[in-house]
Amino acid sequence: MRTAMKIKPVLLAAITILFVASLAIMGTYADFSDIETSEDNYFATGEFNLRLENPDGIGEQWDESVIGTWHYEQNVNASDTNESPWYGRMEPGDSINSYIYLEADGTMDGNTIDIYCSNVNEELEFDTGPENEAEDEICGYDVPIDPGNGVFDKDTKMIITFMQYHTTTIITSEYDYDTNYFTDTSSDGRISLDEFESQPLLGLTPVPNNGTITFFMIVKFAEDAGNEYQGDRTNMTLMFALIQ
């Protein structure tokens, strides 16, 4: 009886060892594998490129950016060394009209064109007497005559009297504009460069690949501009974004 009782634990231990060994063998076979690869899967990205060109005679031709497209300088005598040729002198009522070409050059078409306007109003000279008096009254204090003091909103008096993008006329005249694009936030019936800055043109017809589109604009220095704008300058930058 004692011998039989000893045999049972030995057999049980042997069975357990065999079971564990079986698991070990199964695990060894499960680690075998055969790996194949799918190679050279290139996800190449198409490209599109927007370029601009000024009208003939202005200088900058097909490039990533252009300068001086709308640049009033007809009242400046280029031979006068005291005047920089780029510093145009507009009087109330004077207008400037110009246009810019947009060309797409790439491997695919864009979906839309967005146009943004950014303005910087500057005063580079000492105030004249009338300018200083006007700024004193507007500001309510004695404004220094040095450059960089006083009123800096000349772009509110730079009125867009005509604007056309491709075949779409957005502003027909000084008091006639498409309300789908602009809102008269100043309540004067007109659209200024300042209002253009706060209301970019979004979702316009894209420039077709290998095609050309024209953006045309006329800007006028408003007749009702006061003396506070004497000697001031507005530097406008237009940004054209081709959107995929």
Q: What pLDDT does 75 receive?
A: 42
State the pLDDT confidence band at 183, using cuts at 50, 70 and 90: very high
Determine, yes or no, domain membership for 195. yes
Q: Which residue has the higher pLDDT, 19 or 38?
A: 38
10 within some domain: no
| Whole-prediction pTM | 0.75
Residue 49 has pLDDT above 90, yes or no: no
Q: Is pLDDT at 25 greater than 90 in this prediction?
A: no
**What gap in Å lies between CA 218 and CA 12, rounded to an integer?**
101
**26: in domain:** no
Could you give the percent of the chain with pLDDT greater than 70?
Answer: 71
Average pLDDT score over the chain: 78
Cβ atoms of 52 and 100 within 8 Å: the answer is yes
Give SS3 for 64: coil
Buried residues in 199-222 as b, exposed as e (16+ CB within 10 A): eebeebebbeeeeebebbbbbbbb
C-beta separation of 95 from 161 below 8 A? yes
- Which residues constitute the domain of residue 115? 50-243
Q: How many domains does the chain have?
A: 1
Of residues 140 and 59, more confidence is placed in 140
Q: Residue 27: pLDDT above 60? A: no
Mean pLDDT, residues 14-21: 39
Q: What is residue 62's predicted lDDT score, i.e. its pLDDT?
A: 74
CA 161 and chain centroid, separation: 23
For 177-193, give one letter per residue: b (16+ CB within 10 A) or e. beeebbeeeeeeebbbb
Cα of 99 vs its chain's centroid, Å: 18
168 occurs within a structural domain = yes
Q: Are 240 and 200 in contact (CB under 8 A)?
A: no
| pLDDT higher than threshold 60 for residue 132 | yes
So what's the pLDDT on residue 82?
55
Give the pLDDT mean for 164-173.
96
Nearest to 143 by CA among 158, 152, 89: 152
Do you know the residue count of the chain? 244
Per-residue pLDDT tens over the stretch 187-210: 999 999 999 999 999 999 887 777
Q: How confident is the model at residue 8 (pLDDT cuts 50, 70, 90)?
A: low
**Tens of pLDDT, residues 73-130:** 644 444 454 554 445 578 899 888 888 898 877 656 677 889 999 999 988 889 889 9
Q: Which helix (H) or strand (E) holds 18?
A: helix 2-30
DSSP 190: S
Q: Is residue 221 part of a domain?
A: yes
Q: Measured in Å, how far apart are the chain's first and last C-alpha atoms?
A: 91
Residue 33: inside a domain, yes or no?
Answer: no
> Would you say 197 and 117 are in contact if contact means Cβ atoms under 8 Å apart?
yes
Place 145 in a pLDDT band, splitting at 50, 70 and 90: very high
pLDDT of 224 higher than 90: yes
pLDDT at 23: 41
Residue 5 lies in a domain: no
Residue 57: per-residue pLDDT: 74
pLDDT at residue number 202:
95
pLDDT of residue 70: 84
| 80 or 132, higher pLDDT | 132
Is residue 146 domain-resident?
yes
